[in-house]
Amino acid sequence: MKSKLSVPSAFTVRNGHIAPGNPVAPKSAPSSPSAVAELTKDFETPFYFYNLDHVRARAEFLKTALCESQKLPVAIHYAAKANANPAILKLLKSLGLCVDVVSSGEIDCALRNGFDADDILFSGVAKTRRELVHALKISVKQINIESLGELERLEQILIASPALLPAGQKISVGLRLNPNVSPETHPYITTGLKENKFGLEEDAVIEAVRRITKTQAPIQFRGLSLHIGSQLLELTALNDAIGIGLAVQNKVRDFFPASEKSAVDRFDIGGGLGINYDSIDETVECDVVQSYAELLKKHVGSELDSGRLRELMVEPGRWLVARSGLLVTEVQYTKTTQHKSFVIVDGGMNLLIRPALYEAHHRIAPLTSDTKPGESSTNEPAKNVDVVGPICESADFLGRGVILPNTAPGDRLAIFDTGAYGRTMASNYNQRGWPAEYVYTEGRVSRIDSV
């Protein structure tokens, strides 16, 4: 039986008030953190609110599961696309994490917030010439190649401009294998099937490796990369993908002369670990992490013992930060028609596009109420409502069929689990402006915006 989560949830409901969980004891703050409503009563809505203490606890939990319990040589590369808030990036760097980026802009963001070039794993399917030159100039840790065209472009750049790298230095590359496995997740966030745009099929990997063995460009193949999709809570497909990936890696390692085989010593397992958006209880996804660590050990134990592998890389994003975030929005109007009831708020798909894009579900509750989410009381009967925003689109909803107590203009609602793919996917559509972002740590709240 797996051990249970040893820290509180990111947020708890105490006497009808949503409050931050408190996995890190404040140094000079009350022993019980104040309710979010009290902490933010003077803040203009809509805004994001992140519990950094919880991000810290999650990162430590992941490090313990992978590096301490299973003794795996894992470099944890946080997927910056999940949430690039400076406070989050600086915190994760301080905890010894590295970073996974998918654009030149994310490279610059990582560097501004404390990461070194050697911390940066550069992924992404459409790297431009300018982005590759930028990555070469600073000598990132590794570039993950997603197509034969990308490899050809990288070769051309290096041959035409050898001074981009110090004399005698090679750029480390990985090749992203598309293993053609299907995880149990939304079709828009699967990335490991043949019909997806991502990665190389096995034949293309072999062709790329053969090309690397013959190139005059200073390129060093370090190993394969995988990423089969996001929001993984069931690991069967990942188990299959890792088995396929290691078999292909061992096959292509033999294409190199004996003097170069030892450099093929990394394996990038990608990211995708999910959370349970339906519950405030985080136990399930923490148990998944422990199963994940055991799965990795099962697959790579012999590879590590033999010395064929020396470093694993993983790319968690959502798992580290999703639970930490609330989107707080204010009710502007309530509206009831013959067909349904609406709660109209000042934050919409411009701030959180996941419900419109993926039909994703986020729990929604009043910041302050005498009822728990989804329940009713005798004094405040619950209603089935659609929570909708201000954007001129019918897709502009934060939740459909949400059970809420009666609400009135001026009431504030919290949309849970929005620390990942919330603010980072926001837009200025309808020219509504950007939301403020506040971070909570050790009993204090500060405003730290992404832009």
One-letter amino acid of 208:
A
- CA gap 186, 145 in Å, rounded: 25
Q: Which pLDDT does position 382 carry in this prediction?
A: 83
Query: What does the pLDDT read at residue 375?
Result: 46
Instruction: Output b/e per residue, 248-286; b: 16+ Cβ within 10 A.
Output: bbeebbeebeeeeeebbebbbbbbbbbbebeebebeebb
Tell me if 241 sits within 8 A of 190, measured CB to CB.
no
And the tokens for 205? Answer: 């990997």
For the chain, list residues with pLDDT below 70: 1-7, 22-33, 182-198, 370-380
- Single-letter amino acid, residue 77: H
Q: Which residues contact 420 (CB under 8 A, 6 or more apart)?
A: 82, 83, 317, 318, 320, 321, 322, 325
Q: Which of 278, 416, 408, 435 is nearest to 343 (CA)?
A: 408
The pLDDT, as a whole number, for residue 29 is 45
Of the candidates 136, 182, 184, the residue with the CA atom closest to the CA atom of residue 156:
136
Q: What does DSSP assign to residue 229?
A: B
Catalogue all structural domains in the chain, each as residue range(s) with its CATH number.
53-321 (3.20.20.10)
pLDDT at 152: 97
Tens-digit pLDDT profile for residues 402-421: 999 999 999 999 999 999 99
Q: Which two tokens stand for residue 197?
A: 């745009």
**CB-based contacts of 368, cutoff 8 Å, min separation 6:** 16, 17, 18, 35, 37, 412
Instruction: Report d(CA 196, CA 34) in Å as an integer.
Output: 46
Question: How crowded is residue 217: how many other Cβ atoms within 10 Å of its Cβ?
Answer: 18
Q: Is 431 left (phi over 0), alpha (psi -120 to 50) or beta?
A: left
Catalytic residues: 392
Q: Is 157 helix (H, G, I), strand (E, B) or coil?
A: helix
pLDDT digits (tens, 9 = 90+) for 110-150: 999 999 999 999 999 999 999 999 999 999 999 999 999 99
* CA 11 – CA 281 distance, rounded (Å): 10
> What's residue 16's pLDDT?
86
CB 81 within 8 A of CB 99: no
* Nearest-angstrom CA–CA distance, 74 and 97: 10
The DSSP bridge pattern shows strands 266-270 and 11-14 to be: unpaired
| CA proximity to 331, closest of 404, 435, 408 | 408
pLDDT at residue 342, as a whole number? 96
Euclidean distance between CA atoms 310 and 72, whole angstroms: 9
